A = this chain, B = another copy of it.
Amino acid sequence: MLNFSSDYTNGAHPEVLRRLIETNDEVLTTYGSDIYTESAKAKIRTSCGCPDADIYFLAGGTQTNLTVISGMLGLCGAVVAADTGHIALHEAGAIEYTGHKVLTVPHRGGKITAEALTACLRGFYADENHTHMPYPGMVYISHPTEYGTLYSRDELKALHAICRAHEIPLYVDGARLGYGLASHGSDLSLAELAANCDAFYIGGTKVGALCGEAVVFPRGNAPRHFFTMIKQHGALLAKGRLIGVQFDALFTDDLYLRISCHAIDCAETLKAILREKGYRFFMETPTNQQFVVLENAQMAKLGEQVAFSYWEPFDETHTVVRFATSWSTTEADLEALRALL
Protein backbone atom coordinates (compact mmCIF):
# COMPACT_ATOMS: atom_id res chain seq x y z
CA MET A 1 0.00 0.00 0.00
CA LEU A 2 1.21 3.46 -0.88
CA ASN A 3 1.89 5.55 2.19
CA PHE A 4 1.14 9.26 2.45
CA SER A 5 -0.50 9.01 5.85
CA SER A 6 2.00 10.93 7.93
CA ASP A 7 5.62 11.90 8.35
CA TYR A 8 6.37 9.52 11.19
CA THR A 9 5.62 6.10 9.79
CA ASN A 10 9.25 5.23 9.08
CA GLY A 11 12.18 4.67 11.40
CA ALA A 12 15.23 6.93 11.40
CA HIS A 13 16.90 8.50 8.42
CA PRO A 14 19.75 6.13 7.37
CA GLU A 15 22.41 8.64 8.35
CA VAL A 16 20.89 9.06 11.79
CA LEU A 17 20.65 5.32 12.21
CA ARG A 18 24.26 4.90 11.11
CA ARG A 19 25.47 7.18 13.89
CA LEU A 20 23.39 5.32 16.48
CA ILE A 21 25.01 2.10 15.35
CA GLU A 22 28.53 3.53 15.31
CA THR A 23 28.28 4.91 18.82
CA ASN A 24 26.32 2.06 20.32
CA ASP A 25 29.21 0.36 22.10
CA GLU A 26 30.75 3.51 23.52
CA VAL A 27 30.54 4.04 27.24
CA LEU A 28 28.95 7.44 27.67
CA THR A 29 27.85 9.52 30.58
CA THR A 30 24.17 9.72 31.30
CA TYR A 31 21.19 12.08 31.45
CA GLY A 32 22.41 14.19 28.54
CA SER A 33 25.92 14.88 29.81
CA ASP A 34 27.56 12.89 27.02
CA ILE A 35 29.82 14.24 24.31
CA TYR A 36 27.35 13.74 21.48
CA THR A 37 24.67 15.71 23.24
CA GLU A 38 27.20 18.47 23.85
CA SER A 39 28.26 18.36 20.23
CA ALA A 40 24.68 18.49 19.03
CA LYS A 41 24.04 21.54 21.19
CA ALA A 42 27.09 23.31 19.80
CA LYS A 43 26.02 22.64 16.24
CA ILE A 44 22.49 23.84 16.88
CA ARG A 45 23.80 27.00 18.52
CA THR A 46 25.81 27.67 15.39
CA SER A 47 22.89 26.92 13.06
CA CYS A 48 20.67 29.28 15.04
CA GLY A 49 23.29 31.99 15.31
CA CYS A 50 22.74 31.89 19.07
CA PRO A 51 26.03 31.30 20.86
CA ASP A 52 24.36 31.68 24.26
CA ALA A 53 21.34 29.50 23.64
CA ASP A 54 20.22 27.05 26.32
CA ILE A 55 19.36 23.78 24.62
CA TYR A 56 17.56 20.73 25.98
CA PHE A 57 16.54 17.50 24.30
CA LEU A 58 13.20 15.90 24.99
CA ALA A 59 11.57 12.84 23.50
CA GLY A 60 8.33 14.08 21.92
CA GLY A 61 6.17 17.05 21.06
CA THR A 62 3.48 16.99 23.72
CA GLN A 63 6.13 16.37 26.36
CA THR A 64 8.09 19.33 25.06
CA ASN A 65 5.07 21.59 24.93
CA LEU A 66 3.91 20.85 28.45
CA THR A 67 7.38 21.14 29.94
CA VAL A 68 8.26 24.39 28.20
CA ILE A 69 4.87 26.00 28.67
CA SER A 70 4.52 25.16 32.35
CA GLY A 71 8.14 26.20 32.85
CA MET A 72 7.77 29.58 31.16
CA LEU A 73 4.32 30.57 32.38
CA GLY A 74 3.82 32.24 35.69
CA LEU A 75 1.88 30.30 38.27
CA CYS A 76 -1.57 31.45 37.25
CA GLY A 77 -1.04 32.37 33.63
CA ALA A 78 -2.73 31.02 30.55
CA VAL A 79 -1.16 30.29 27.20
CA VAL A 80 -2.72 31.93 24.14
CA ALA A 81 -3.05 29.61 21.13
CA ALA A 82 -4.96 29.45 17.87
CA ASP A 83 -8.18 27.48 18.28
CA THR A 84 -6.66 24.99 15.86
CA GLY A 85 -3.44 24.75 17.88
CA HIS A 86 -2.17 21.30 18.75
CA ILE A 87 -2.11 22.09 22.46
CA ALA A 88 -5.72 23.27 22.29
CA LEU A 89 -7.09 20.15 20.68
CA HIS A 90 -4.96 17.08 20.42
CA GLU A 91 -2.78 16.79 23.48
CA ALA A 92 -5.30 15.21 25.83
CA GLY A 93 -5.45 18.23 28.09
CA ALA A 94 -1.73 17.98 28.83
CA ILE A 95 -1.33 21.72 29.33
CA GLU A 96 -4.34 21.92 31.62
CA TYR A 97 -2.94 19.00 33.60
CA THR A 98 0.00 21.24 34.48
CA GLY A 99 -2.54 23.74 35.82
CA HIS A 100 -2.81 26.22 32.97
CA LYS A 101 -5.64 27.30 30.72
CA VAL A 102 -5.24 27.38 26.95
CA LEU A 103 -6.85 30.64 25.83
CA THR A 104 -7.84 30.29 22.20
CA VAL A 105 -8.13 32.95 19.54
CA PRO A 106 -9.73 32.36 16.13
CA HIS A 107 -7.18 31.13 13.61
CA ARG A 108 -6.68 32.30 10.06
CA GLY A 109 -5.31 29.43 8.02
CA GLY A 110 -4.05 27.85 11.22
CA LYS A 111 -2.23 31.03 12.22
CA ILE A 112 -2.69 33.66 14.89
CA THR A 113 -2.89 37.12 13.34
CA ALA A 114 -1.48 40.19 15.00
CA GLU A 115 -5.01 41.57 15.08
CA ALA A 116 -6.43 38.56 16.86
CA LEU A 117 -3.60 38.56 19.41
CA THR A 118 -3.96 42.27 20.07
CA ALA A 119 -7.71 41.89 20.50
CA CYS A 120 -7.22 39.06 22.98
CA LEU A 121 -4.65 40.92 25.08
CA ARG A 122 -6.48 44.25 24.94
CA GLY A 123 -9.76 42.63 25.77
CA PHE A 124 -8.19 41.03 28.82
CA TYR A 125 -6.61 44.17 30.21
CA ALA A 126 -9.66 46.28 29.38
CA ASP A 127 -11.90 44.03 31.44
CA GLU A 128 -12.47 45.51 34.88
CA ASN A 129 -12.52 42.02 36.33
CA HIS A 130 -9.38 40.79 34.70
CA THR A 131 -7.77 39.89 38.00
CA HIS A 132 -10.53 37.27 38.24
CA MET A 133 -9.41 35.75 34.94
CA PRO A 134 -6.37 33.72 33.96
CA TYR A 135 -3.99 36.25 32.50
CA PRO A 136 -2.46 35.65 29.08
CA GLY A 137 1.08 34.82 30.16
CA MET A 138 2.63 33.58 26.92
CA VAL A 139 1.81 32.92 23.29
CA TYR A 140 2.08 29.58 21.50
CA ILE A 141 2.23 29.25 17.74
CA SER A 142 3.21 26.33 15.56
CA HIS A 143 5.40 26.78 12.52
CA PRO A 144 4.44 25.15 10.22
CA THR A 145 0.94 25.21 11.64
CA GLU A 146 -1.34 22.22 12.02
CA TYR A 147 -2.64 23.13 8.53
CA GLY A 148 0.83 23.19 7.03
CA THR A 149 0.86 26.98 6.66
CA LEU A 150 3.74 29.30 7.51
CA TYR A 151 4.29 32.59 9.23
CA SER A 152 6.17 35.12 7.17
CA ARG A 153 9.10 36.91 8.75
CA ASP A 154 6.97 40.01 9.08
CA GLU A 155 4.10 38.16 10.66
CA LEU A 156 6.42 36.58 13.20
CA LYS A 157 8.04 39.90 13.98
CA ALA A 158 4.67 41.50 14.49
CA LEU A 159 3.59 38.81 16.96
CA HIS A 160 6.90 39.04 18.80
CA ALA A 161 6.60 42.81 19.05
CA ILE A 162 3.17 42.46 20.62
CA CYS A 163 4.51 39.89 23.07
CA ARG A 164 7.45 42.08 24.01
CA ALA A 165 5.15 45.03 24.53
CA HIS A 166 3.21 42.92 27.02
CA GLU A 167 6.35 41.36 28.46
CA ILE A 168 5.21 37.83 27.73
CA PRO A 169 7.21 35.21 25.84
CA LEU A 170 6.49 33.87 22.37
CA TYR A 171 6.99 30.13 21.97
CA VAL A 172 7.11 28.31 18.63
CA ASP A 173 6.19 24.64 18.28
CA GLY A 174 8.46 23.37 15.52
CA ALA A 175 7.35 19.76 15.35
CA ARG A 176 7.78 20.07 11.56
CA LEU A 177 10.17 23.00 11.58
CA GLY A 178 12.45 21.53 8.93
CA TYR A 179 9.64 21.37 6.42
CA GLY A 180 8.86 25.00 7.17
CA LEU A 181 12.43 26.20 6.74
CA ALA A 182 12.81 24.24 3.51
CA SER A 183 9.56 25.46 2.02
CA HIS A 184 9.72 27.58 -1.13
CA GLY A 185 7.13 29.75 0.55
CA SER A 186 9.27 30.57 3.54
CA ASP A 187 11.23 33.80 3.96
CA LEU A 188 12.47 32.81 7.41
CA SER A 189 15.83 31.31 8.32
CA LEU A 190 16.51 29.36 11.50
CA ALA A 191 18.52 32.31 12.84
CA GLU A 192 15.67 34.70 12.10
CA LEU A 193 13.23 32.43 13.84
CA ALA A 194 15.52 32.27 16.87
CA ALA A 195 15.85 36.04 16.93
CA ASN A 196 12.10 36.57 16.82
CA CYS A 197 10.82 34.35 19.57
CA ASP A 198 11.71 33.44 23.14
CA ALA A 199 11.68 29.67 22.86
CA PHE A 200 11.12 27.14 20.14
CA TYR A 201 11.74 23.53 19.43
CA ILE A 202 13.30 21.86 16.44
CA GLY A 203 11.26 18.77 15.74
CA GLY A 204 13.17 15.55 15.21
CA THR A 205 10.49 12.86 15.40
CA LYS A 206 8.84 13.98 12.16
CA VAL A 207 12.07 14.99 10.43
CA GLY A 208 14.33 11.99 10.42
CA ALA A 209 14.80 10.94 14.04
CA LEU A 210 13.37 7.96 15.88
CA CYS A 211 12.35 10.36 18.60
CA GLY A 212 13.51 13.67 19.96
CA GLU A 213 12.93 17.39 19.91
CA ALA A 214 15.50 20.10 20.61
CA VAL A 215 14.24 22.95 22.76
CA VAL A 216 16.09 26.22 22.19
CA PHE A 217 16.02 29.22 24.51
CA PRO A 218 17.87 31.50 22.13
CA ARG A 219 19.34 33.99 24.56
CA GLY A 220 20.24 31.72 27.44
CA ASN A 221 16.81 32.38 28.85
CA ALA A 222 15.78 28.94 30.05
CA PRO A 223 13.58 29.05 33.13
CA ARG A 224 15.49 28.54 36.36
CA HIS A 225 15.73 24.86 37.37
CA PHE A 226 14.61 23.78 33.91
CA PHE A 227 16.68 20.59 34.05
CA THR A 228 14.94 19.59 37.28
CA MET A 229 11.57 20.38 35.72
CA ILE A 230 12.37 18.03 32.84
CA LYS A 231 13.09 15.31 35.37
CA GLN A 232 9.95 16.19 37.32
CA HIS A 233 7.83 15.73 34.20
CA GLY A 234 9.37 12.32 33.60
CA ALA A 235 10.97 13.69 30.45
CA LEU A 236 14.61 13.04 31.25
CA LEU A 237 16.06 10.02 29.45
CA ALA A 238 18.69 8.08 31.39
CA LYS A 239 20.43 7.40 28.07
CA GLY A 240 20.38 10.97 26.88
CA ARG A 241 22.74 9.82 24.14
CA LEU A 242 19.75 8.41 22.26
CA ILE A 243 18.60 11.89 21.32
CA GLY A 244 21.99 13.57 21.45
CA VAL A 245 23.50 11.30 18.84
CA GLN A 246 20.51 11.72 16.55
CA PHE A 247 20.56 15.51 16.66
CA ASP A 248 24.31 15.50 16.29
CA ALA A 249 23.77 13.61 13.04
CA LEU A 250 20.89 15.82 11.93
CA PHE A 251 22.97 18.96 12.41
CA THR A 252 26.06 17.60 10.69
CA ASP A 253 26.48 18.71 7.07
CA ASP A 254 23.02 20.28 7.06
CA LEU A 255 21.31 16.89 7.10
CA TYR A 256 18.23 18.33 8.80
CA LEU A 257 17.72 20.89 6.08
CA ARG A 258 18.68 18.57 3.23
CA ILE A 259 16.13 15.92 4.10
CA SER A 260 13.53 18.59 4.69
CA CYS A 261 14.16 19.98 1.20
CA HIS A 262 13.62 16.53 -0.23
CA ALA A 263 10.24 16.30 1.50
CA ILE A 264 9.27 19.72 0.15
CA ASP A 265 10.28 18.77 -3.39
CA CYS A 266 8.11 15.70 -3.05
CA ALA A 267 5.26 17.85 -1.73
CA GLU A 268 5.50 20.14 -4.73
CA THR A 269 5.25 17.14 -7.02
CA LEU A 270 2.35 15.83 -4.95
CA LYS A 271 0.53 19.13 -5.31
CA ALA A 272 1.09 19.07 -9.06
CA ILE A 273 -0.30 15.54 -9.27
CA LEU A 274 -3.35 16.38 -7.20
CA ARG A 275 -3.99 19.50 -9.22
CA GLU A 276 -3.49 17.76 -12.53
CA LYS A 277 -5.90 15.00 -11.47
CA GLY A 278 -8.53 17.56 -10.60
CA TYR A 279 -8.58 17.08 -6.86
CA ARG A 280 -10.16 19.81 -4.82
CA PHE A 281 -7.84 21.36 -2.29
CA PHE A 282 -9.20 22.18 1.12
CA MET A 283 -5.96 23.96 1.75
CA GLU A 284 -2.97 24.10 -0.59
CA THR A 285 0.03 24.62 1.64
CA PRO A 286 3.68 25.50 1.15
CA THR A 287 4.89 22.59 3.29
CA ASN A 288 4.71 18.81 3.40
CA GLN A 289 1.05 18.40 4.29
CA GLN A 290 -1.69 18.80 1.67
CA PHE A 291 -5.38 18.75 2.44
CA VAL A 292 -7.93 17.68 -0.15
CA VAL A 293 -11.67 17.19 -0.09
CA LEU A 294 -12.85 13.73 -1.10
CA GLU A 295 -16.34 12.48 -1.74
CA ASN A 296 -16.93 9.80 0.90
CA ALA A 297 -17.32 6.82 -1.44
CA GLN A 298 -14.25 7.93 -3.39
CA MET A 299 -12.36 8.21 -0.08
CA ALA A 300 -13.24 4.65 0.88
CA LYS A 301 -12.19 3.31 -2.51
CA LEU A 302 -8.94 5.24 -2.66
CA GLY A 303 -8.18 4.18 0.90
CA GLU A 304 -7.83 0.61 -0.25
CA GLN A 305 -4.68 1.45 -2.18
CA VAL A 306 -3.14 4.46 -0.53
CA ALA A 307 -2.82 5.44 3.09
CA PHE A 308 -3.73 9.03 3.94
CA SER A 309 -5.08 10.65 7.11
CA TYR A 310 -8.66 11.39 7.96
CA TRP A 311 -8.72 15.08 8.91
CA GLU A 312 -12.22 16.37 9.51
CA PRO A 313 -15.70 16.16 8.02
CA PHE A 314 -16.30 18.66 5.19
CA ASP A 315 -20.04 18.21 4.70
CA GLU A 316 -22.51 15.36 4.79
CA THR A 317 -20.98 13.63 1.82
CA HIS A 318 -17.38 14.83 1.77
CA THR A 319 -14.37 14.57 4.04
CA VAL A 320 -11.10 16.45 4.35
CA VAL A 321 -8.09 14.15 4.19
CA ARG A 322 -4.38 14.82 4.46
CA PHE A 323 -1.56 13.60 2.26
CA ALA A 324 1.87 14.02 3.82
CA THR A 325 5.33 13.65 2.37
CA SER A 326 8.48 13.27 4.42
CA TRP A 327 12.21 12.70 4.18
CA SER A 328 11.33 9.07 3.39
CA THR A 329 9.00 9.70 0.47
CA THR A 330 10.40 8.44 -2.83
CA GLU A 331 9.88 9.42 -6.44
CA ALA A 332 8.58 5.93 -6.98
CA ASP A 333 5.89 6.59 -4.38
CA LEU A 334 4.86 9.71 -6.24
CA GLU A 335 4.81 8.01 -9.63
CA ALA A 336 2.75 5.19 -8.23
CA LEU A 337 0.33 7.72 -6.80
CA ARG A 338 0.11 9.54 -10.11
CA ALA A 339 -0.70 6.27 -11.82
CA LEU A 340 -3.31 5.44 -9.25
CA LEU A 341 -5.31 8.65 -9.05
Contacts and interface: CB of A to CB of B under 8 A. Distances in A.
A-B interface, 10 closest residue pairs, ranked by CB to CB distance from nearest: A63-B234, A93-B134, A11-B24, A92-B231, A92-B232, A93-B101, A96-B101, A62-B234, A96-B96, A97-B99
Given A131-B227, A233-B234, A234-B233, A71 B60 contact: no
Given A30-B9, A76-B97, A242-B211, A60 B237 contact: yes
* Chain A contact patch, size range: 35 or more
Given A76-B97, A96-B100, 8 more contacts: A11-B24, A12-B24, A63-B233, A76-B92, A91-B231, A131-B228, A132-B231, A211-B211
Contacts of A74: 224-225
Interface string A245-287: 0000000000000000000000000000000000000000000
Contacts of A60: 234, 236-238
A25, A101, A205, A237 — most chain B CB neighbours (10 Å): A101
Contacts of A221: none
Interface of A: 3, 6, 8-12, 14, 17, 20-21, 23-31, 59-67, 70-71, 74-78, 89-94, 96-102, 128-129, 131-135, 205-206, 210-211, 223-225, 227-229, 231-239, 241-242, 307, 310
A8 B21 contact: no
A76 B237 contact: no
Contacts of A14: 24
| Residue of A98, A206, A227 with most chain B CB atoms under a 10 A cut-off | A98
A236 B62 contact: yes
Contact of A10 (B6, B25, B59): B25
A59 B3 CA distance: 27
Nearest to A30: B8
A134 B96 contact: yes
A70 B96 CA distance: 12
Contact of A237 (B98, B133, B211, B225): B211
Nearest to A129: B90
A8 B238 contact: yes
A270 to B, nearest CB: 17
Contact of A228 (B23, B99, B134, B206): B134
A121 to B, nearest CB: 15
Nearest to A137: B225
A202 to B, nearest CB: 15
Nearest to A14: B24
Which of A9, A24, A238 has the most B CB atoms < 10 Å from its CB? A238
Contacts of A234: 60, 62-67, 91, 94, 233-235
A19 to B, nearest CB: 11
Contacts of A236: 60, 62, 132
A20 B89 CA distance: 32
Contacts of A225: 74-77, 131, 135
